[in-house]
Structure 1
Amino acid sequence: MGNRNIKWGIVGLGNIASQFASDLLLIENAELTAVASRDFAKAEEFGAKFNALRMYNSYDMLFEDSEVEIVYIATPHNSHAELAIKALENGKHVLCEKPMSLSYEDAKRMIEASRKHNRFFMEAFWTRFIPSMQDVLQKINDGAIGKINYIKADFAFHGSETENKRLFDKELGGGALFDIGVYPLFLSYIVLGKPKEILAKAIKHKNDIDLQTSMILQYETAQSVLHASIVSESDMKAIISGTKGRIELNAPWFIADGYSLFANEEKEATFILPALGKGYSHEIMECQNCILHNQIESKLWSHQNSLDLSGIVEEIKNQIKLPF
């Protein structure tokens, strides 16, 4: 078995797929076997750019390609569940872009399909695998900043309806919560676990998607204050604060190239931990490692982790009355 090449397929060839494919080229035992888009010209252009062996104008044809071992799904949110399940039914391993689905029920169906067909499935929460995040979690586990009492994290930028059509598209699962709100929620969850209570308020678009959402996650002895917006900017730093000090992740924190450690209000140390390529490389290596070891889930971002996060998002979706 050893370190053989793993053969990848990519469906949905937008911006994120391009960034992912450029990282795939950096991994020596990763091969881009096939790409698929409903627009064949796009598939041809993408395939040529990233040296794919085959290009398809249908997702089904890619799923039926016997050489493809693992499919990366990078289509809009509303199609994730259906495509992931279809790929798993065709015997493919799956890395599905986050959020894995627009409902908790669909998330459960996806995990069930992975287990039923005994194929690897992971939600593409790439931030979990970047070196700075791994290091921060290790420091927290080692008690470097004591018991965590407070997390502040946001993800915000000024989107425009003309340039970021998908973001504002209700049919495609647009809006702040599902596109970027999942990141601050992920940070709170990976550090503090599932909250006891959630409070969320949103400012809505006329089509009912959320333009900005603020969230408080209440724990036994801690709180997380989180925010997501597609209509305004923020500093995009994240702070994790404990009884002995705090950690500040460099902006933008979800792809942090490092962080600072503070104790007694004094900066004690700065750590620089750049990611390889755009940062997707680390989740790619995790997928390949799991497949080579016949694991159907990652220990770092497990099926249960995805379900827990999906449940948190579902609660917020219901509180702010999103139409999905």
Structure 2
Amino acid sequence: MSEKVRWGIIGLGNIASNFVKDLALVKEAEIYAAASRNLEKAKGFSKEYNIPNAFGSYKELLECKEVDVVYIATPHTSHCELSIMAMEHGKHVLCEKPMGINRAEVEKMIAAAQENKVFLMEALWSRFNPSIRKVKQMVDSGDIGPLAYLHADFAFYALDRDFNGRVLNPELAGGSLLDIGIYPIFLSYLLLGKPDQILSTSNFHDNGAELQTSMIFNYPKAQAILYSGFTSRSEMKAEISGEKGTIFIPPRWHEAQGYTVERNGEKEVFSMPTTGRGYFYEIKEVHDCLDQGKLESSLWSHRNSQDLISLMDTVRIQNEITFPFEE
């Protein structure tokens, strides 16, 4: 590998734009190429972000020998196929969440990573956020005592969006659960592990897209109350409460810039602003793993991605959330 890690970007929407801005802040990174199925779009994106190479097909980028790592930010439905194609070309892969549509896809991706001996990680950026890492450390060390209650939500109004777009189109695995419900589920899993029982309920649009899902994750001595939705805003804050105190992560908790700890009626506020938008930290994790010759992250491992998608599969089964291409 060259002195700098050379990145290729596949899928050039809003998330990719934010990611590339943070990638430019990482001195060990070089943004080498961008690809879209539309060459003009790739050229426009590359010009905007000073990327030297633009490709009008994903295959062309994957055949580019100079690219070390591929960041995949296409709609959910192509994560599995494109990740496997990239790994078969010897590329390391950072794939946007959810890694796959279901556990079967995630397992195929992990098998491809192992077979091709390349690095693969789900781009669950919140896992690497400094505030969330600190909160996990506090919970693990017992600072607020054994956890008893967790609440996390993520919702915004999306019914004014194009129903052919990624968010609301069942053909593209649209719906709130995979898109944003993954965040509250992740936080519960990160801090409490896999629940003994999941209770959930969903509401749907006439086109079949899941619009709202409420979940209770039941643990032996704790419960997590989780929600995702596209029919209204929510406060998007997280509350993590134990026997000795409570940690609050203010809106928008999944991109936290700090947290508050309350003990014995007294509150202490901690400010931890992120570098850039916050993608910076997952990029650094990729680089650290590559430097150490690791094929998966210990902070967000292949097993973690399998567990997370299994929890979402359970919620989907309970509420009959299916996509046309799965039937």
Q: 1:271 aligns to what?
A: 270
In the alignment, does 2:29 pair up with 1:30? yes
2:167 alignment partner AA: L
Q: 2:110 aligns to what?
A: 111
Q: Match of 2:12, SS?
A: coil
1: CA distance, partners of 2:261 / 2:291: 36
2: CA distance, partners of 1:113 / 1:295: 15
In the alignment, does 2:225 pair up with 1:225? yes
Contact map agreement 1:161 1:168 (CA 8 A) in 2: no
Q: Match of 2:172, SS?
A: coil
Q: Which runs of 5+ in 2 are unaligned?
A: none
User: Structure 1 residue 163: deviation in Å?
Assistant: 5.0
Task: After superposition, give the CA deviation of every residue in 1:61-110 in whole Å (9 maximum; x if it has no partner).
Answer: 11111010100000000100000011011100000000111111001101
Q: Which runs of 5+ in 1 are unaligned?
A: none
Q: 2:97 aligns to what?
A: 98
1:260 alignment partner AA: T
- What is the aligned residue count? 322
Contact map agreement 2:87 2:112 (CA 8 A) in 1: yes
1:216 alignment partner AA: I
Contact map agreement 2:162 2:168 (CA 8 A) in 1: no
2: CA distance, partners of 1:108 / 1:265: 46
In the alignment, does 2:7 pair up with 1:8? yes
Q: 2:45 aligns to what?
A: 46
2: CA distance, partners of 1:131 / 1:102: 28
Task: After superposition, give the CA deviation of every residue in 1:144-164 in whole Å (9 maximum; x if it has no partner).
Answer: 100001100000111134357
2: CA distance, partners of 1:244 / 1:110: 41
Q: Match of 1:195, SS?
A: coil
2:59 alignment partner AA: D
Q: Match of 1:283, SS?
A: helix
Q: 1:248 aligns to what?
A: 248
Contact map agreement 1:130 1:275 (CA 8 A) in 2: yes
Q: Give the TM-score of the pair, scaled to structure 1.
A: 0.97
Q: Match of 1:20, SS?
A: helix
Q: Match of 2:142, SS?
A: coil
Q: 1:21 aligns to what?
A: 20
User: Structure 1 residue 323: deviation in Å?
Assistant: 1.5
2: CA distance, partners of 1:311 / 1:286: 24
Task: After superposition, give the CA deviation of every residue in 1:3-53 in whole Å (9 maximum; x if it has no partner).
Answer: 921000010000000000000000111001110001111100111111112
Q: 2:119 aligns to what?
A: 120
Q: Give the TM-score of the pair, scaled to structure 2.
A: 0.96
2: CA distance, partners of 1:162 / 1:309: 27
Contact map agreement 1:73 1:84 (CA 8 A) in 2: yes
Q: 1:68 aligns to what?
A: 67
What is the RMSD of the two structures over their aligned residues, measured on CA atoms? 1.2
